[in-house]
């Protein structure tokens, strides 16, 4: 039996288009503080995880203008407004190479991709998807990272063949929530790992509620009974609402590892 955990490292990108999101643009507790706290706790429990990172976060503010321009297809079709982008360029929570280096320094974690501008891939044309991947790969290599994995923004899968062209070998499937149109019942029936378009898809993904373990630990117990690999994910900003559930979960899986031989893996 094995388990993996991933964090969607968006910092502020996940709030684009959400009511009130811009209010938090400079609030470190929504991003950096939570990630640094998380890294220390993962060290304490000796738990490796995968950070799926929005590509723009790999860049320092003075690096972004060298590879991003208003003629990119994402701006031409007005999926993103160049005016809005020019306003957030240089904002602290849209650039996080310092956090990436801190993750790398811990030696046991993995860094994957989460789109470049956090646009759902099912809404992109092939040209736009390739632009997202091109930018993500270029930015990650500037931090000496060669990503093999991808988690889709908002869990909306799409353009798997294009991901494979850019060296991606595995993707994280969606959560059991309604937003990906897979009910919990269908998620439980579905195989935990499958192969689609030549990519390995990790399907048994559950949202890890960092506030409390009322649902997460029973879900883990259920998957252990089924002898399946199981995967949990959350965002750094979820820790803003509470941390007790995550600590309970980490303590539980550490005990299972020590007493039952549970494997804790990166994706």
Rg (CA), the chain: 18
Residue 102 tokens, joined:
């801190």
Q: What is the DSSP string of 180-249?
A: GT--HHHHHHS-SEEEETTEEEE--EEE--TT--TTHHHHHHHHHHHT--EEEEE-GGGGGT-SHHHHHH
* Paired tokens of 165: 């062209």
Q: How confident is the model at residue 237 (pLDDT cuts 50, 70, 90)?
A: confident
Determine the average pLDDT of the residues in 257-264: 94
pLDDT band at 191 (very low <50, low <70, confident <90, very high): low
Give the pLDDT mean for 201-222: 88
Give the pLDDT of residue 181.
46
Give Dmax (Cα) for the chain. 56
Torsion sign (Cα): 193, 199, 205, 210: positive
Question: Residue length, the chain?
Answer: 267
Pairing type for strands 230-234 and 263-265 reads unpaired
pLDDT digits 0-9 by tens, 29-65: 567 888 999 999 999 999 999 999 999 999 999 999 9
In a 10 Å sphere around its CB, with 0-12 CB exposed, 13-18 middle and 19+ buried, how is residue 224 labelled? middle
- Give the integer Cα–Cα distance in Å for 117 and 50: 19
Q: Which two tokens stand for residue 187?
A: 């998620």
pLDDT exceeds cutoff 90 at 77: yes
Mean pLDDT of the chain: 86
Asked whether residue 204 carries a pLDDT value surpassing 80, the answer given is: no
Residue 23, classified by CB atoms within 10 Å of its CB into exposed (0-12), middle (13-18) or buried (19+), is exposed
Angstrom CA distances, 52 to 42, 69, 73, 136, 179, stand at: 16, 24, 23, 11, 19
Side-chain-facing half-sphere of 241: CA atoms under 13 Å: 11
Alpha carbon separation from 194 to 86, 169, 197, 200, 201 (Å, rounded)? 40, 12, 10, 6, 5
pLDDT at position 179 is 41
- Residue 226 predicted with pLDDT over 90: no
Mean pLDDT lowest among 23-32, 62-71, 143-152, 248-257: 23-32
Confidence of residue 228 (pLDDT cuts 50, 70, 90): confident
Give the residue from 116, 199, 191, 127 showing the smallest Cα distance to 163. Answer: 199
The stretch 243-263 carries a mean pLDDT of 96
Which of 190, 193, 134, 189 lies closest to 162 in space, CA to CA? 134
Q: Which residue has the higher pLDDT, 24 or 251?
A: 251
């Amino acid at each position: 039996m094995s388990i993996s955990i991933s964090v969607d490292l968006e910092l502020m990108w996940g709030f684009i288009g959400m009511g009130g999101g811009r209010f938090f643009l400079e609030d470190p507790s929504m991003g950096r503080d939570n990630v640094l706290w998380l890294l220390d706790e993962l060290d304490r429990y000796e738990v490796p995880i995968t950070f799926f990172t929005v590509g723009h976060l790999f860049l320092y503010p003075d690096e972004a203008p060298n590879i991003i321009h208003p003629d990119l297809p994402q701006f031409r079709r007005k999926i993103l407004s160049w005016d809005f982008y020019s306003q957030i360029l240089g904002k602290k929570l849209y650039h996080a190479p310092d956090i990436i280096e801190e993750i790398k320094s811990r030696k046991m974690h993995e860094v994957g991709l989460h789109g470049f501008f956090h646009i759902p891939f099912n809404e992109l044309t092939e040209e736009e998807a390739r632009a997202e991947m091109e930018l993500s790969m270029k930015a990650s290599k500037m931090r000496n990272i060669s990503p093999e994995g991808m988690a889709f923004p908002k869990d909306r899968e799409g353009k798997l063949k294009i991901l494979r062209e850019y060296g991606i070998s595995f993707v994280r499937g969606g959560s059991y929530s309604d937003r990906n149109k897979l009910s919990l019942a269908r998620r439980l029936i579905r195989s935990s790992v499958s192969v689609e378009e030549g990519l390995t898809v990790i399907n048994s993904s559950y949202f890890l509620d960092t506030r409390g373990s009322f649902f997460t630990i029973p879900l883990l117990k259920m998957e252990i009974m089924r002898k399946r690999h199981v995967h949990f994910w959350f965002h750094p900003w979820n820790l803003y609402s509470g941390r007790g559930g995550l600590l309970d979960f980490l303590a539980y899986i550490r005990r299972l590892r020590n007493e039952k031989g549970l494997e804790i893996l990166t994706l």
